[in-house]
Each structure stands twice: as C-alpha cells, then as structure tokens.
C-alpha cells in the first residue's frame, strides 16, 4: 500500500539544482522545480538530506538523454542519503520514515533536490551510527570497489593486487576492502603524502609516480585502473598470464590484453539493494575511511560542481540539502 510521510507533507514544488541545456557547471541553476509524482510500482520517494557529487557526470550521455531522447531539464548527483517519504505499492521491506541511502540510476533525475524518486532495488537502510554525509559519499566509489573485487577481479585471499590510483575516490575503497579480504595490495599514487595515506588505508606497498618501473612483469594476480582513460602498458605487463585487468573509465586495449595474455574487462557499476545492505554493515563498524573533501549547501551547487581540482583534501564533495 502506498503511504506518505505525514510529518513532511508534499507540496507541488521543491528546491532543486537543474540544468536546462547541456554543458558544465555554468548551466546549473538553483530553482523551484516540480516534486516527483507519487511513487508507483517499486519506486520510492526519498526526502534528500545529503547528495554527493561525481564531477564527470556532466559529461555522461546518460545524464542528458534516455534512449536518444533529450531529458533536460536534468537534476544531477546520483549518490544520496535521506528519509523515505512515500513508497510504491510493490515496495516491501521499506517504510515511510526509514533512513536510507543509495544510488539513483544514471538515466534518471538525481538527488540534488529536496526529493528524488528511486527504485527500491537501488537503496538500503542507513545505519543510525552512520552520518548522512558519510553514507552519501561512500555509495558510488564503495559500490564500484565492491563490485570490482567480488565480481570482476576475483583475486583470492593471499593473492596480489595492483591498484593504479590507490588514494583516489574508488582506489581508496579498493585498497581498504581488498585488505579486509586478505589480499596483498600494491598501490600507485602521485605523491609521497599520498603514499603514506595508501599505506595507512592498508596497502603493503605504495609506488610514487615514475616508480612504476619497479613493478616486476607478471607479478600480480590482478590489476585495476581507477585513474582514468589511457590505461598504461605497464599495468597489463604487471599481471600474470591468465590474470585479470579491470578498467573503469573506458574499455581496455584488446591488443595489450592479448600481448600479455591477460583477461581485461570494463564495467559500469550497478546499484543492488543487497550489496548496499552489506556496505551499510561495513560502514556501521566505522572501520572504513570515507573522505569528504568539501561540503556546500544545495543553493551553491553550481559552485560545488565548478570546484573540481580546487580542494587540497581527498574525498567526495557533497551537497547539504537539508539539516539532519
């Protein structure tokens, strides 16, 4: 049965960050927008508390179109934490008032708004001991790390894993989660300071910049490039024949994979309520470091998206939609 949060009655309008034309942060405006309609099927309406930013999302085709049809005006930011405001008739296991966090499908309007409509399969209950900001900031990078380790890399306990970008958004979670799985981690980083952080997160070895020439050939069971496009040849050569290389930004080089006899794969993370539930349990232990670089109010969302590269601190940039 569909129900609605009586403590916060829905109105026709909400505050949202929107873009009416394709582009970058300069297209984003803070304005009144229609509240999503009452949820149908297995959808859930969430009253957003915090939304986290992935800067590259303004370059993704899914942000701007669905099945070739323009979606503007769009609402960005797909990682969120908040409270269930209403549930569709097919939703089970969630009720109005539940604290939740999750990942909005990339071809839907996101969470940089007071309300967001999201499938129940893409959210999970948020533990009370985990803050909204921590939960929102962990969603996309931690889910990506979990899927990479559990479904794609398949490096066993005691195996050796090479991570390009061991203190980046996804890389920091791969380092931490791999360590929890008993995997020996070598991480490449950009500075001595980052090397210290990688070791603190659980890396056995941290290589700075050009030190990648110290990576022996065929010495790892798997490798993952968390940095970006243009995966370098040394990452392929570092993996033993039959091992696996994972890329996150673009499909891997078939030629390099064949040359070194590795299985190279690319994937785009998908939200899954069961995996989110397991992430929630890990976050509740307080054992994962979830870095937050900057926090902006929703009204300053355009500035938040425009701040890329300006923060000296590692971690996510988050939008504070409402006070907890």
Q: If 0-12 CB within 10 Å is exposed, 13-18 middle and 19+ buried, where does residue 110 land?
A: buried
Which secondary structure element, helix H or strand E, spans residue 301, and what is its range? helix 301-306
Identify the CA nearest to 298 among candidates 75, 57, 15: 15
Q: Which domains does the chain have, with CATH numbers?
A: 3-129+286-320 (3.90.180.10), 140-266 (3.90.180.10)
Alpha-carbon span 161 to 164, nearest angstrom: 10
Helix, strand or coil for residue 311?
coil
Residue 125 corresponds to which tokens in the numbers above? Answer: 């209950």
Q: How many CB atoms are located within 10 Å of the residue 193 CB?
A: 12
Alpha-carbon span 78 to 86, nearest angstrom: 19
Q: How many CB atoms are located within 10 Å of the residue 254 CB?
A: 9
pTM of structure: 0.91
Q: Is the peptide bond before 73 cis (omega within 30 degrees of 0)?
A: yes
Alpha-carbon span 143 to 236, nearest angstrom: 24
What pLDDT score was predicted for residue 8?
A: 45
What pLDDT score was predicted for residue 87?
A: 97
What pLDDT score was predicted for residue 210?
A: 78
Helix, strand or coil for residue 140?
helix
List the pLDDT tens digit at each of the 324 positions of the chain: 345 443 444 568 999 999 999 999 999 999 999 999 999 999 999 999 999 999 999 999 999 998 889 999 999 999 999 999 999 999 999 999 999 999 999 999 999 999 999 999 999 999 999 999 999 999 999 999 999 999 999 899 999 999 999 999 999 999 999 999 999 999 999 999 999 999 999 999 999 987 888 889 999 999 999 997 789 999 999 999 999 999 998 999 999 999 999 999 999 998 899 999 999 999 999 999 999 999 999 999 999 999 997 888 889 999 999 865
What pLDDT score was predicted for residue 67?
A: 87
Helix, strand or coil for residue 195?
helix
Alpha-carbon span 298 to 253, nearest angstrom: 40
Q: Check residue 16 and report its DSSP letter.
A: E
What pLDDT score was predicted for residue 90?
A: 97
First to last CA, the chain: 27
Q: Check residue 151 and report its DSSP letter.
A: I
What pLDDT score was predicted for residue 11?
A: 67
Place of tokens 């370098």: 232
Residue 120 corresponds to which tokens in the numbers above? Answer: 């129940």
Place of tokens 């899927």: 147
Helix, strand or coil for residue 74?
strand
Place of tokens 């979990």: 146
């Amino acid at each position: 049965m569909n129900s609605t949060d009586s403590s916060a009655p829905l109105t026709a309008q909400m505050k949202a960050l929107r873009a009416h034309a394709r582009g970058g942060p300069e297209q984003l405006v803070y304005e009144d927008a229609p509240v999503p309609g009452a949820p149908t099927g297995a959808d859930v309406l969430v009253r957003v508390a915090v939304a986290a930013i992935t800067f590259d999302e303004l370059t993704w085709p899914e942000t701007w179109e669905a099945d070739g049809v323009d979606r503007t005006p769009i609402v960005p930011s797909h990682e969120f934490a908040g409270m269930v405001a209403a549930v569709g008739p097919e939703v089970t296991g969630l009720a109005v008032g539940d604290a939740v966090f999750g990942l909005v499908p990339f071809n839907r309007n996101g969470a940089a708004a007071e309300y967001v409509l999201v499938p129940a399969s893409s959210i999970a209950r948020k533990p009370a001991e985990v803050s909204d900001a921590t939960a929102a900031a962990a969603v996309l990078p931690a889910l990506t790390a979990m899927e990479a380790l559990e479904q794609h890399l398949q490096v066993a306990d005691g195996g050796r894993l090479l991570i390009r970008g061991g203190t980046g958004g996804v890389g920091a979670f791969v380092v931490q989660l791999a360590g929890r799985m008993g995997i020996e981690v070598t991480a490449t980083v950009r500075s001595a300071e980052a090397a210290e952080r990688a070791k603190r997160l659980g890396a056995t070895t941290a290589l700075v910049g050009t030190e990648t020439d110290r990576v022996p050939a065929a010495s790892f069971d798997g490798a993952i490039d968390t940095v970006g496009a243009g995966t370098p040849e040394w990452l392929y050569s570092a993996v033993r024949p039959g091992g696996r290389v994972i890329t996150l930004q673009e499909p891997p080089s078939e030629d390099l994979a064949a040359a070194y006899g590795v299985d190279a794969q690319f994937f785009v993370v998908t939200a899954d309520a069961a995996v989110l539930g397991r992430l929630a349990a890990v976050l509740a232990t307080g054992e994962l470091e979830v870095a937050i670089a900057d926090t902006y109010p929703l009204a300053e969302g355009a500035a938040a998206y425009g701040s890329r590269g300006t923060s000296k601190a590692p971690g996510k940039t988050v939008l504070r939609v409402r006070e907890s």
